[in-house]
Chain A
């Protein structure tokens, strides 16, 4: 897990676990996580690949600006997972193309 558990100033109260799937694999996040935060905490660093160069794309701006974290969520492409809240049972998939509309 890549979560900060102990911090000199901040405290992190225990949060409810949320189950979701990433590329078909079951994963666990915490209530209040963004999708990107839950993936990051679970060690997922590659969120997709660039449609043209095919280079891996990761967590970058974290504020919904940079397009580096576009993923397919519940079949919807181009979701900015850094600003999308994780929900129970979400199906999150890596996106390697420009996105196919459902």
Chain B
């Protein structure tokens, strides 16, 4: 393992990989990614891997739009031919109440103003688009055809291969045990396989972001909670769009080779690092999907799993250099959307680190917003 680096990225998930690749593409040569297990073994490989531009707050719209543009050209950008299975079948988002429908109308006008071609649909129009959806359950819906989903494993592979091509060192099965600093500047990290001196250390540890920040003596206002997903047996194509319903706490998609994937979190569960599966999820999710899409009751469940959401109070990410420790950067608190935001994360964090002006103004995503002076609006379009 290298003894010195220009930048150390903690976390070999999609965020860490994207930051490293973007830094290398901008000319940084000596980059080390430290990964506790293997790339994508955390939330990245456990997520629904959906991407949507239909958000309720401006920054999430802009960040996800950047990422959709990126994923549409990922092979050209990363200079490899890994098929990331980017399926742009759209997201259909159902509103349960009149109040939610009104909110959706406002969301669509915000999205349209930002160049996102989403549309507001009646329940009938939503039913025409998704015949197996029981439209008596929804008041209205919104749809954006450029939204969709990817294969998270293939996407990790695409970034990891690009990282290898760019000479980035990915240290697997390596755990960070300490972060060094000297007079307010980060100077390196200690791992279970030796020390690395570096002027830049990035915390992209996803669910473990708080524990990593603790090593540097930085207090992070984030917490983690498991979300669960189940996958069914494959069937012939039935559902092209991802369906999402915030009021029912569900997202459900059919992946290209046929199985349905559906997931949610449970806010009554404790906030910790557990990634076990529960029978309650299986039962409750089955009930929800049978209410909304009765014909899917024929599907048999193959298996289920869990992964960690790293949450902030406003459900928006933290992109920042820590005020108390120069050179220690944060890319965390993605609140369940780290996968879809990863291209933007890489671009904006690399610009932040290199002192360039970020393509999107992310100053409001600074960690200082939680100190109460400049709070951000709460993102309510979340599952």
Contacts and interface: CB of A to CB of B under 8 A. Distances in A.
Interface stretch (A12-20, A21-29, A94-102): A94-102
A102 B295 CA distance: 7
Question: Which interface class (under 10, 10 to 19, 20 to 34, 35 or more) fits B?
Answer: 10 to 19
A77 interface: yes
A76 interface: yes
Contacts of B296: 101
Contacts of A99: 233-236
A78 B236 contact: no
A98 B299 CA distance: 12
Interface in B240-259: 258
Contacts of B300: 78
Nearest to A100: B236
B299 to A, nearest CB: 7
A78 B234 CA distance: 9
B258 A101 contact: no
Contacts of B295: 101-102
B298 A100 contact: no
A101 B141 CA distance: 24
18 contacts: A76-B298, A77-B298, A78-B233, A78-B298, A98-B235, A98-B236, A98-B258, A99-B233, A99-B234, A99-B235, A99-B236, A100-B235, A100-B236, A100-B238, A101-B235, A101-B296, A101-B298, A102-B295
Contacts of B233: 78, 99
B2 to A, nearest CB: 44
B298 A97 contact: no
A61 to B, nearest CB: 16
B299 A101 contact: yes
Interface in A70-96: 76-78
Contacts of A78: 233, 235, 298, 300
Interface in B273-322: 295-296, 298-300
Contacts of A102: 295, 298
A77 B232 CA distance: 13
Contacts of B298: 76-78, 101-102
Nearest to B233: A78
Interface in A22-68: none
Contacts of A101: 132, 235, 238, 295-296, 298-299
A100 B233 CA distance: 12
A60 B233 CA distance: 19
A102 B236 CA distance: 11
A97 B296 CA distance: 17
Contacts of A100: 235-236, 238
A82 B196 CA distance: 59
Contacts of A98: 234-236, 258
A102 B132 CA distance: 10
Nearest to B257: A98
B297 to A, nearest CB: 9
User: Which 6 residue pairs are nearest across A and B when measured between Cβ atoms?
Assistant: A99-B235, A98-B234, A98-B258, A100-B236, A98-B236, A98-B235
A101 B258 CA distance: 12
A76 B296 CA distance: 11
A101 to B, nearest CB: 5
A101 B235 CA distance: 7
Contacts of B234: 98-99
Given A97-B236, A99-B234, A102-B298, 13 more contacts: A77-B298, A78-B298, A98-B234, A98-B235, A98-B236, A99-B235, A100-B236, A101-B132, A101-B235, A101-B296, A101-B298, A101-B299, A102-B295
A77 B233 CA distance: 11
Interface string B94-111: 000000000000000000
A81 to B, nearest CB: 14
